[in-house]
């Protein structure tokens, strides 16, 4: 019956659709309001007459993360004895400021610090990896018995659980590739070896496994496993295409040199007042276009007079990216990018190679978002590069789900909206990231980027970018199938459209 979990399941109680359900074992409210709720306080489970296993809470969380229903939420607590007790603090001498946890050698929180940190428990920590690596894999090879259940996450994971005091032993079809796997119920991978039980899978995907009380293995716990690339791009990898005809642009007339934009400057650059050496009065530089209604399709800009070239900022500079995309609930916009043109498309083909990827540009996120923008908050942690490859090894997970690149946050230009961002002058539906970018790693001050839509793993279509409007706009010095932006500026793009605006900070 688990396979029927969804709308209408369980006597017409109408469980929510998969993408509308938030699933959890406990939360701060239920921990304190309902003493029958399973929490860290009762993480014990008795199996058989004389056997006690201190894993009851882990048992429940493991199944929640293994079964592909809903959006899971993992708890992280502090110890408390009554419902009104606050978190560990520095006391009166420290103005009751919340203290920080201290950690054991295995990265769990020391009990003496007052923090439980369930999310750091080895089993829960490893099961979030199970959840992440099995994302999108269907449930197959379901085996049931009295008080026991086993199933495969096709090609990516295997999970079995029992409440019986007799091991649930049989030859299981795990659907996993041949090799040795670390059972994360009993241990985890450390320095390439398993600290717990090792399970050997044959070439046909089968193994005889005694399940007692839980077994959980996945590609993430395979000894010697290296993550592969993301799903292939629908058309072709991002980067310049030399066969494309150049986009015609106007040739700028002679103009006096201007000062390069200063990094972190908040003052818009002014045009020089000295008359230009031209026979006629120079055309004024176009101003930033007025915001368009969010329902209107972005219109390509008229062809403005290109601005004179300016020297690129040196070192790290604040850079803003806005990408307009109308999305639905559950959809998130990421960008991937770098210096594909500069490196002739020789960028890393798969994740986790950013540190050696010649195309990757070092960045740091500085966007301020509301506290409930948890997706952006988690995915932006450890996002140290703008790159074409996708997730990074150190990048944060949201509910066990990997990032799909550099995350953007949904924004609005209305100060009364919770999504309001000061750099959004255009309307709702502009996804934004304020970052600090290493301009010295760009293509003479320019970078490329393209949108990536989660959860569909869908690239934005190829871009035909012309001349950008804006106070520091103009045309890029090279052609690309990606958006082309300026380091140290506000870059405004539209999904699947070559329209662009580049303004000074």
Q: Could you write out the three-class secondary structure of 317-335?
A: EEEEEEEECCCCCCCEEEE
Q: What residue ranges in 350-398 does DSSP mark as E strands?
A: 361-365, 385-386
User: What is the spatial distance between Cα 44 and Cα 213, in angstroms, rounded to a whole number?
Assistant: 13
Strand partners, 412: 420
CB 376 within 8 A of CB 407: yes
The H or E element containing residue 59 is helix 56-66
User: What is the spatial distance between Cα 106 and Cα 79, in angstroms, rounded to a whole number?
Assistant: 19
User: What is the spatial distance between Cα 347 and Cα 172, in angstroms, rounded to a whole number?
Assistant: 41
Instruction: Give the global pTM.
Output: 0.46
CB 387 within 8 A of CB 337: yes
Which alpha helices (DSSP H) does 284-373 contain, by range? none
- 370, 371, 354: which is closest to 362 by C-alpha? 354
- 328, 324, 354, 329: which is closest to 339 by C-alpha? 354
| pLDDT beneath 70: ranges in the chain | 1-19, 34-35, 44-54, 226-314
Note the pLDDT of residue 492: 97
The H or E element containing residue 490 is strand 489-494
CB 348 within 8 A of CB 360: yes
CB 398 within 8 A of CB 412: no
Q: Please report, for the chain, how many H helices and E strands are present, in that order.
A: 5, 26
Note the pLDDT of residue 129: 93
Q: What is the sign, positive or negative, of the torsion defined by CA atoms of 118, 121, 124, 125?
A: positive
User: What is the spatial distance between Cα 440 and Cα 503, in angstroms, rounded to a whole number?
Assistant: 20
Structure tokens at 293: 């209604």
Note the pLDDT of residue 314: 58
């Amino acid at each position: 019956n688990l396979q029927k979990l969804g709308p209408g399941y369980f006597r017409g109680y109408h469980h929510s659709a998969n993408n509308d359900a938030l699933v959890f074992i406990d939360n701060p409210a239920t921990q304190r309001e309902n003493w029958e709720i399973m929490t860290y306080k009762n993480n014990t489970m008795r199996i058989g007459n004389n056997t006690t296993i201190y894993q009851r809470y882990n048992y429940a969380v493991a199944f929640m993360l293994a079964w592909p229903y809903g959006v899971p939420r993992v708890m992280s607590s502090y110890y408390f004895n009554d419902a009104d007790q606050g978190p560990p603090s520095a006391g009166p001498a420290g103005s009751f400021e919340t203290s920080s946890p201290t950690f054991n050698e295995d990265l769990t929180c020391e009990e003496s610090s007052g923090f439980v940190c369930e999310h750091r428990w080895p089993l829960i920590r490893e099961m979030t990896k199970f959840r992440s690596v099995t994302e999108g894999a269907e449930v197959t090879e379901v085996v049931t018995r009295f008080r026991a259940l086993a199933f495969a996450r096709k090609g990516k994971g295997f999970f079995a659980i029992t409440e019986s005091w007799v091991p649930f032993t049989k030859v299981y079809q795990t659907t996993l590739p041949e090799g040795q796997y670390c059972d994360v119920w009993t241990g985890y991978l450390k320095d390439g070896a398993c600290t717990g039980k090792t399970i050997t899978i044959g070439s046909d995907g089968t193994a005889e496994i005694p399940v007692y009380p839980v077994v959980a293995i996945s590609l993430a716990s395979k000894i010697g496993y290296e993550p592969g690339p993301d799903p292939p791009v629908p058309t072709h990898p991002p980067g310049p295409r030399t066969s494309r005809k150049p986009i015609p642009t106007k040739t700028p007339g002679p103009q006096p040199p201007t000062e390069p934009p200063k990094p972190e400057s908040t003052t818009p650059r002014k045009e020089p007042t000295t008359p230009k050496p031209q026979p006629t009065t120079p055309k004024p530089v176009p101003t930033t276009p007025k915001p368009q209604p969010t329902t209107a399709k972005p219109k390509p800009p008229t062809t403005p007079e290109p601005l004179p070239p300016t020297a690129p900022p040196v070192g790290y500079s604040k850079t803003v990216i806005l990408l307009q995309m109308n999305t639905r609930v559950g959809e998130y916009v990421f960008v991937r990018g770098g210096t594909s043109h500069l490196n002739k498309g020789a960028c890393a083909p798969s994740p986790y190679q950013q540190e050696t990827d010649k195309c990757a540009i070092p960045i740091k996120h500085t966007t301020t978002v509301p506290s409930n923008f948890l997706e952006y908050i988690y995915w932006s942690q450890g996002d140290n590069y703008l790159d074409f490859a996708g997730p990074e090894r150190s990048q944060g997970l949201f509910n066990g789900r990997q990032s799909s690149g550099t995350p953007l946050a949904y924004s609005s230009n209305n100060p009364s909206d919770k999504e309001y961002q000061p750099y959004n002058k255009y309307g709702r539906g502009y996804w934004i990231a304020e970052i600090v970018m290493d301009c010295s790693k760009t293509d003479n001050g320019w970078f490329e980027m393209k949108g990536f839509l989660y959860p569909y793993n869908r690239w934005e279509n190829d871009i035909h970018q012309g001349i950008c409007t804006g106070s520091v706009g103009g045309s890029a010095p090279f052609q690309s199938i990606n958006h082309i932006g300026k380091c140290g500026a506000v870059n405004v793009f539209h999904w699947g459209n070559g329209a662009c605006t580049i303004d000074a900070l």
